[in-house]
DNA sequence: CAAATGAATGTAAACGTTTACAATTCAGAC
DNA sequence: GTCTGAATTGTAAACGTTTACATTCATTTG
């Protein structure tokens, strides 16, 4: 429904090519007034407001975000670093992160590390190029990265670590995670209580602090039970399904094969179950499998996976709140890691050994 | 190993607080020279080069990315819009996207729509706030969004659509995807060839063009076979596992239940298989299930899922190459959708009906 | 009515780069 | 030594905002 008035043609410039100056000229005010209108409309007189409003509508003006961020030194963007888009575990964490970020006026950028642990340089680059106001780190740090973090990053660009544990010397770095070691211990205790003695462990990556914490919990539990861990039962699964399938085949190849396999995450547990079944064995009758994370597929896999639940959404929320508090509340960032509660979720993939 | 020289203390400023001016002053050159050193070192004399280099090292200077982007009007950032981080389907697509983006000097920003179809306003905001040089759209558009896209977006901010099909009137919008309709038809044909007649379909969302294409393929196949589709056999699964579980329960509740269920994606197929099993029925003996996408879990689920393979990585690569060609090659963006090859992957979740 | 107040607006500098243009230096040719 | 041209460097404007400060204007107060 075009209205055939005698008004001058409203040739809307392509967005981006019209600046605050054009609006000011058309509205017959100074650019300062337009700026004020945009940032706090109450501060301009009713009458002017409508003129500016009209000019904006006519030109299709929208402020250049780049210029704004540059001038203000603030982007209202938070960078979230995670190993891989496509990892179901992060669905929940991201949901928590996103909800508080949105609520507090921030947008999210997501950056994948593709399973590479982050290097010092990579973190340095982010720290220094102020493309974001803060960083949420959900990915592993290389041991070297830690130095950088402690040395200079935290002073300049707010960072909070989620899920991942951190090397001891960084113990009071801001972070939110479960007690991975205790949780792994609990899971192992559960297998022991079922009567297992030959319990294997598939860890993630050599350098990953996260899964080494879990490994440590496994070892502690075994030790407490007076069982010495055979080193051939501790295998790398690379945090991937394929890695875990290969690892499981190795484990099942042993003359004296384990009766239970504890995987450092669910992704690997899924692969592990598959490998056990393809070897013609049954889960849990022949081999029990326990995972870690409680991703959404854990519930529907067959048999349903016994695993450790992490309050992913809660972690996301807490991480983001801490980060934004630090960003907005000046230098007063709270230190130290906050531990949230985990929970062993008993389903069907683990049972007493049949022997 | 600190070297106790008599050199002046190297008090490195916190990064971000030191600008090109400081470097210039210390090196005894003009800021233009420093700028040139950064962007094209060959253009400054050997001797000056070392002085500037030293000054940069001493101050720990790193250019302010915000200022650079602002000045150059280019961010070297590509925004990727996808429905949800944590969706395994995007692992492959992102991998393709990332590899070509990285190779051509661009970084990625990822933005989730959380299953909301994108509205006109949201796209408009991205188009206008030049925080990225281009957009890869892997998420659904609302029908309304389409208008905006065609009307003004494409002219100003390069956009390429991946995976998703697009409404007919936008047929020549740049995009890369498989022929969803043909693929769905093929999958349905396969079920028909197995002898199924009562084939149900679980679609994604009402508005989603992607799954309505697949639905159309399903209907076409049924029609061709002379079977009229019972409307009660076409159910919404919301693209989620939970949605599909609920949908499947409805389907199985019918007096005359289907012997096969075709799901518009694997995520739903996984939920569907779970629901069939929990109802005490067997897959594929009692109910065949076919999915779509061939996510990595399709291979390891039990029974292994028969599904349609999409060349995810290839799609990612092609999308990104087209986008960057458009960004860099001026206005010469190629038009129209490029169709890539799909493939029906026959595994174990579909078999002839037992009746 | 003058002065004082406060609201509304305008002026201009600043943010950290890049880059067109001008200026300088340098090497070689005469 | 002068001239030429190329190589190198410097000067200063520009990008689109925000914001401290100055100015104007209308209103109230004495």
- At B256, which CATH number? 3.40.50.2300
Same domain, B118 and B131: yes
Residue B277: the pLDDT is: 97
Do A272 and A170 belong together in one domain?
no
Average pLDDT over residues B22-29: 94
The pLDDT score that the predictor gives to residue A126 is 62
Tell me what pLDDT residue A143 has: 57
Q: What is the mean pLDDT of residues B314-328?
A: 94
Taking all residues of chain B, what is their mean pLDDT, rounded to a whole number? Answer: 87
Give the CA-trace dihedral at B313, B191, B237, B93, to 10 degrees.
Answer: 0
Shared domain check, A263 and A143:
no
Pair A130, A170 in one domain: yes
Judged on CB neighbours under 10 Å (0-12, 13-18, 19+), B105 is exposed
How many domains does chain B contain in total? 3
For residue A147, tell me if it sits in a domain: yes
- Which candidate, A301, A293, A295, places its Cα nearest to that of A264? A293
By CA distance, what is A129's nearest residue in B? B65
Do B189 and B83 fall into the same domain?
no
Grade residue B178 by pLDDT with cuts at 50, 70 and 90. Answer: very high
* Coil, helix or strand at residue B224: helix
Query: Domain for residue A349, yes or no?
Result: no
C-alpha A347/C-alpha B208 separation (Å) is 35
pLDDT at B247: 98
Confidence of residue B299 (pLDDT cuts 50, 70, 90): very high
Residues within 7 Å (Cβ) of strand C:
A 28-33, 36, 43-45, 47-48, 70-71; B 19-21, 31-32, 35-36, 38-39, 61, 63-64, 67-68, 70-72
pLDDT at B109: 84
Is 60 exceeded by the pLDDT of residue B5?
Answer: no
Regarding whether A170 and A110 lie in a shared domain, the answer is yes
Domain boundary among A7, A38, A63: A63
Task: Residue B306: name the closest of B339, B260, B275 by CA.
Answer: B260
Top mean pLDDT of A274-283, B144-153, B169-178 is at A274-283
Residues B156 and B251 in one domain: no
pLDDT on residue A112: 85
**What distances in angstroms separate CA B208 from CA A292, B117, B164, B309, one per listed residue?**
34, 8, 9, 20
Once rounded to an integer, what is the mean pLDDT over residues B349-355?
Answer: 91
A151 and A188 belong to one structural domain: no
Domain holding B335, by residue range, is: 76-178+313-340
Q: Is residue A347 part of a domain?
A: no
Q: What is the pLDDT of residue A123?
A: 60
Chain B contact for A241 (CB, 8 A cutoff): yes
Q: Is the pLDDT of residue B81 over 70?
A: yes
Same structural domain, A209 and A231: yes
For residue A20, give the nucleotide whose C1' atom is nearest its CA: D16
Same domain membership, residue B115 and residue B144: yes
B43: Cβ under 7 Å from strand D? yes
pLDDT digits 0-9 by tens, B101-121: 989 989 888 888 876 666 555
Q: Are residues B334 and B319 in the same domain?
A: yes
* A 252-281 → B contacts, CB under 8 A: 270-271, 273-274, 277
Say how many CA atoms lie within 13 Å of A299 toward its Cβ: 11
B38 to A26, A128, B43, B70, B259: CA distances (angstroms): 40, 15, 10, 17, 66
Query: Is residue B4 pLDDT above 50, yes or no?
Result: no
Helical (H) or strand (E) element with A154:
helix A154-156
Q: Are residues A234 and A154 both part of a single domain?
A: no
| Low-confidence stretches of chain A (pLDDT beneath 50) | 1-10, 152
Tens digits of residue pLDDT in B43-71: 999 999 999 999 999 998 989 999 999 99
Instruction: Give me the pLDDT at residue B200, please.
Output: 98
Distance in Å from D24's C1' to B258's CA comes to 80
* pLDDT on residue A207: 72
Which nucleotide's C1' sits nearest to the alpha carbon of A17?
Answer: D16
pLDDT per residue as tens digits for the range A279-310:
999 999 999 999 999 999 999 999 999 999 99
């Amino acid at each position: 429904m075009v209205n055939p008035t005698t008004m001058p043609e409203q040739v809307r410039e392509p967005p981006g090519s019209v600046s605050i100056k054009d609006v000011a000229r058309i509205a017959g005010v100074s650019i300062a007034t337009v700026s004020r209108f945009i940032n706090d409309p109450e501060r301009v007189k009713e009458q002017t407001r409508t003129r500016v409003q009209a000019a904006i509508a006519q030109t299709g003006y929208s402020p250049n975000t780049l210029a704004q961020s540059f001038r203000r030194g603030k982007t209202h963007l938070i960078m979230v670093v995670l190993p891989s888009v496509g990892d179901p575990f992060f669905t929940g964490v991201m949901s928590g992160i996103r909800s508080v970020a949105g609520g507090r006026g921030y947008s999210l950028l997501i950056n994948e590390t593709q399973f590479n642990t982050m290097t010092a340089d990579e973190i340095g680059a982010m720290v220094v190029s102020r493309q974001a106001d803060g960083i949420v780190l959900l990915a592993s740090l290389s041991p070297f990265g830690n130095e950088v973090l402690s040395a200079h990053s935290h002073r300049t660009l707010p960072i909070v670590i989620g899920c991942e544990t951190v090397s001891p010397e960084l113990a009071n770095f801001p972070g939110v995670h479960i007690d991975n070691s205790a949780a792994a211990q609990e899971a192992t205790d559960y297998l022991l209580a079922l009567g297992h003695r030959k319990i294997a462990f598939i860890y993630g990556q050599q350098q990953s602090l996260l899964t080494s914490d879990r490994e440590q919990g496994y070892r502690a539990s075994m030790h407490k039970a007076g069982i010495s861990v055979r080193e051939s039962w501790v295998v790398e699964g690379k945090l991937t399904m394929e890695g875990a399938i290969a690892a499981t085949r190795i484990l099942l190849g042993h003359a004296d094969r384990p009766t239970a396999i504890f995987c450092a995450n669910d992704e690997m547990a899924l692969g592990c179950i598959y490998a056990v079944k393809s070897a013609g064995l049954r889960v849990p009758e022949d081999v029990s499998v326990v995972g870690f994370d409680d991703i959404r597929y854990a519930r529907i896999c067959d048999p349903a996976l016994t695993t450790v639940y992490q309050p992913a959404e809660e972690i996301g929320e807490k991480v983001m709140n801490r980060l934004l508090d630090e960003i907005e509340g000046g230098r007063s960032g709270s230190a130290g890691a906050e531990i949230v509660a985990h929970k062993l979720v008993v389903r069907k993939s683990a049972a007493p050994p049949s022997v």
